[in-house]
Structure 1
């Protein structure tokens, strides 16, 4: 019985120490529908615009991690 309590306790200690890990990614890839206004859509010049794009740009500023955003047809996403 004591063995199992110690074994389970070690699992929790390992879990606590792994939560201290930092994210080391410099970029992530985000894929979304390109025709879902006002959230994501292509403007007249073919650039991806919308609320989700603005939110991802703000996320980039806050985290320092670049988000490579791709807008594609829903059937391909």
Structure 2
């Protein structure tokens, strides 16, 4: 996904079962806000600097990196 903005529906994509946030894999929600930090400077990957705060359909709110956000799957 290029860039999501506030109000966009997204799907969380963390397929690596070893990732501590794997339990979020496949969850859908709405972007509440987009935050920025310097992670991209450390990793060399610009998308890593975008942190999305997502209100999941389950009611939980989480922060995920840009690399973990995809367009939603239509029901």
Considering fraction of residues, name the structure with more strand.
Answer: 2
TM-score past 0.5 threshold = no
Query: Given the two structures, how large is their TM-score scaled by the length of structure 2?
Result: 0.21
Query: Given the two structures, how large is their TM-score scaled by the length of structure 1?
Result: 0.20
